């Protein structure tokens, strides 16, 4: 193995791991030497070395072995000359106040987890479900006086929490380069904490953490149940709040709902601004898809997307944005491979598994609930025996929707409407079908309800 050879192998890794991971993790490591079956790489920080070792070691070793089959193991080491001020690190390096030059010091440099270049405000599509979270993120990204502390963002998987946090970090770095902005996941926080304990470097850990201007901790639910990490987090948190430093936290649920989180931590987390990212709606999904298509254009300038495809996807894939994005990426890759345009047929072929997985099972109960809400009547009245028109019509609408939107049989539906006979259900469905053609109001109700149920 030689440095030149590594340079070539690296290019192959680029293809496997993608540009982003490559820039963040592979590019910063440098081949130093290989002997006794061990290949040694120089890494700018211990953190990076550990990360690469945990996530890419197999892949790297596999590539190296094509060149030198005797290699058995990889080692990542921080070279002695890399100090706090070294520029070799990826993404951003946080520098402690006092310049340190020893190898030890390098271990204490706080590394911001790599920021995804694509996660900026420019690429974040704003819609009703996320407008508040977006506005709050924009505000803290201005880097002005701290008005709410912490900013607590929460929401389900894939709704854009990490995207917004990275966007804040990018923006702050641009506007306020003098600020020490530290972004990391709660898991990394714990990892560094444990490492500091093990290496007896708690003083350094505290000192460095408390010297940041903006601290962002992603997925804080991770520290629930991890008592000593929680404790340390709490102290760090308080120290920063006392100094009026901005803290931004994300989690998959509201502070009060995180199990195994101490009450004092919960209440601390709640004392700033808590905003949630709601599940996406159809309009937002469509907006995101349109914006992602524009981004795909860079890679596939010639691919046409037939009208209707994006609408179809926005309609059918309502789980989370990550799945939506993945579907689109696959669609483009597939279309370019087979040299066809992206139309409905190709979409169905290429995404059948995703589409099947995200097929939502709508239940009779859901329909009953939505319909009774819509007509402002009690659920019990809709299901019960009353024959008043104001109950009977909604009942028939609900029966009709159950027939159209679930796979339940007429007798089954009848049973769930207070034990009615299947002929009653059949009659109801027919009646609504007739009315739909004549009565604009009914048609509109049906359309509204169908959309609400499909969200």
Position with the least CB separation from ligand ADP: 160
For Mg ion (CB under 5 A), the number of binding residues is 2
Minimum distance from residue 375 beta carbon to ligand ADP (Å): 34
Least distance between Mg ion and beta carbon 17 (Å): 19
Q: Is 162 annotated to bind ligand?
A: yes
Q: How far apart are the C-alpha atoms of 162 and 141, rounded to whole Å?
A: 14
Instruction: Tell me which stretch binds ligand ADP (CB under 6 A): 101-109, 193-201, 319-327, 361-369.
Output: 319-327
Using CB under 6 A, which residues numbered 365 to 424 contact ligand ADP?
none
| Rounded least distance, CB 34 to Mg ion, Å | 37
CA distance from start to end of the chain: 56
What, of ligand ADP, Mg ion, none, does residue 124 touch, CB below 5 to 8 Å by kind? ligand ADP
Question: Which residues, 133 to 192, sit near Mg ion by CB under 5 A?
Answer: 161-162
Of residues 247 and 342, the one with the C-beta less far from Mg ion: 247
Q: In angstroms, rounded to a whole number, what is the distance separating the alpha carbons of residues 389 and 394?
A: 8
Q: Which is nearer to ligand ADP, 71 or 354 (CB)?
A: 354
DSSP string over 27-80: TT-EEEEEETTEEEEE-S-HHHHHHHHHHHHHHHHHHHHHH-TT--EEEEE--T
Smallest gap from Cβ 161 to Mg ion, in A, equals 5
Please name the residue ranges forming H helices in 255-383. Answer: 263-270, 282-297, 309-316, 321-338, 344-350, 352-357, 364-374, 379-383
Residue 322: name its binding partner from Mg ion, ligand ADP, none (Cβ under 5 to 8 Å by kind).
ligand ADP
| From Mg ion, ligand ADP, none, interface partner of 44 (C-beta below 5 to 8 A by class) | none
Return the number of other C-beta atoms located less than 10 Å from residue 170's C-beta.
20
Which range, of 51-59, 78-86, 154-162, 225-233, touches ligand ADP by CB under 6 A? 154-162
Cα diameter, the chain: 88
If the CB atoms of residues 162 and 246 are measured against ligand ADP, the closer one turns out to be 162
- What does residue 113 show for φ and ψ, rounded to 5 degrees? -60, 150
Alpha carbon distances (Å) from 290 to 118, 283, 318, 324, 413:
16, 11, 15, 11, 39
Residue 314 C-beta: closest distance to Mg ion, Å: 22
Q: Does 321 bind ligand ADP (CB under 6 A)?
A: yes
Which span (29-37, 48-56, 121-129, 204-212) binds ligand ADP, by CB under 6 A?
Answer: 121-129
Q: Which regions of 110-191 does DSSP assign to beta strands (E)?
A: 151-155, 181-185
What are the Cα distances from residue 438, in Å, to 78, 431, 442, 446?
77, 11, 9, 13
User: Which of 96-104, 118-126, 190-198, 297-305 is the region at the interface with ligand ADP (rule: CB under 6 A)?
Assistant: 118-126
The residues facing 75 across adjacent strands are 40
Consult the annotation and say whether 430 binds a ligand: no
Closest to Mg ion by CB, 100 vs 161, is: 161
Beta strand 181-185 pairing with 151-155: unpaired
- If one asks whether residue 318 binds ligand ADP (CB under 6 A), the answer comes out as no
Which residue in 292, 286, 289, 300 sits closest to 333, CA to CA? 300
Length of the chain: 455
Q: Least distance to ligand ADP from the beta carbon of 190, Å?
A: 18
Query: Is 158 near ligand ADP (CB under 6 A)?
Result: yes
Measured from the CB atom, the residue of 123 and 424 that comes closer to ligand ADP is 123
Q: Are 13 and 60 in contact, with CB atoms under 8 Å apart?
A: yes
Distance CA 152, CA 220 (A): 10
Residue 94 within binding range of Mg ion, rule CB under 5 A: no
Stretch that binds ligand ADP, among 105-113, 156-164, 266-274, 295-303 (CB under 6 A): 156-164
Per the annotation, does 158 bind a ligand? yes
CA 417 – CA 413 distance, rounded (Å): 6
Q: Is 325 in the site for ligand ADP (CB under 6 A)?
A: yes
Report in angstroms how near the CB of residue 166 gets to ligand ADP at its nearest.
8
Cβ proximity to Mg ion: between 208 and 269 the closer is: 269
Nearest approach in angstroms of CB 193 to Mg ion is 20
By CB under 6 A, tell whether 124 contacts ligand ADP.
yes
114 binds, among Mg ion, ligand ADP, none (CB under 5 to 8 A by kind): none
- The 10 Å Cβ neighbour count of residue 258 is 20
Burial of 369 (0-12, 13-18, 19+ CB in 10 A): middle
384 is known to lie in a ligand binding site: no
Residue 94 and residue 44: Cα distance in Å, rounded? 12
Nearest distance, CB of residue 158 and ligand ADP, angstroms: 4
The footprint of ligand ADP (CB under 6 A) covers 119, 123-125, 130, 155, 157-163, 288, 321-322, 325
The footprint of Mg ion (CB under 5 A) covers 161-162
Bind-site residues:
158, 160-162
């Amino acid at each position: 193995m030689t440095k030149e050879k590594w340079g070539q192998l690296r290019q192959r890794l680029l293809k496997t791991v993608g540009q982003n991971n490559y820039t963040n993790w592979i590019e910063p490591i440098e081949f130093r030497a290989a002997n006794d079956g061990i290949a040694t790489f120089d890494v700018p920080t211990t953190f990076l070395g550990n990360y690469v070792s945990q996530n890419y070691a197999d892949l790297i070793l596999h590539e190296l072995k094509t060149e030198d089959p005797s290699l058995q193991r990889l080692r990542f080491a921080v070279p002695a000359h890399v100090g706090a001020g070294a520029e070799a690190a990826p993404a951003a390096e946080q520098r402690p106040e006092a310049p340190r030059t020893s190898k030890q010091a390098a271990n204490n440099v706080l590394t911001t987890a790599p920021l995804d270049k694509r996660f900026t405000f420019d690429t974040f599509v704003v819609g009703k479900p996320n407008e508040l979270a977006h506005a709050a993120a924009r505000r803290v990204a201005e880097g002005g006086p701290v008005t709410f502390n912490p900013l607590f963002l929460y929401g389900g998987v894939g709704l854009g929490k990490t995207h917004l946090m990275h966007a804040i970090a990018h923006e702050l770095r641009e506007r306020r380069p003098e600020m020490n902005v530290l972004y990391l996941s709660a898991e990394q926080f714990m990892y560094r904490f444990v490492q500091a304990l093990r290496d007896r470097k708690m003083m350094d850990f505290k000192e460095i953490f408390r010297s940041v201007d903006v601290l962002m901790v992603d997925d804080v639910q991770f520290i629930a149940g991890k008592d000593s990490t929680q404790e340390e987090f709490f102290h760090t948190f308080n120290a920063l709040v006392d100094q009026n430093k901005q803290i931004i936290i994300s989690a998959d649920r509201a502070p009060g709902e995180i199990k195994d989180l101490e009450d004092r931590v919960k209440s601390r987390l709640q004392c700033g601004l808590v905003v949630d990212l709601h599940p996406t709606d159809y309009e937002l999904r469509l907006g995101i898809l349109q914006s992602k298509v524009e981004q795909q254009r860079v890679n596939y300038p010639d691919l046409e997307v037939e009208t209707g495809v994006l609408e179809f996807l926005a309609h059918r894939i309502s789980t989370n944005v990550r799945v939506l994005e993945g579907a689109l990426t696959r669609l483009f890759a597939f279309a370019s491979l087979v040299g066809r345009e992206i139309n409905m047929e190709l979409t169905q072929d290429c995404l059948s598994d995703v589409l099947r997985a995200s097929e939502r099972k709508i239940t009779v109960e859901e329909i009953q609930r939505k319909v009774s809400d819509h007509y402002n009547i009690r659920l019990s009245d809709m299901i019960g025996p009353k024959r008043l028109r104001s109950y009977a019509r909604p009942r028939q609408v609900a029966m009709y929707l159950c027939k159209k939107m679930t796979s339940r049989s007429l007798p089954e539906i009848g049973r769930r409407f207070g034990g009615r006979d299947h002929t009653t259900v059949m009659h109801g469905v027919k009646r609504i079908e007739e009315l739909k053609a004549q009565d604009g109001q009914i048609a509109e109700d049906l359309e509204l309800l169908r959309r609400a149920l499909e969200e």
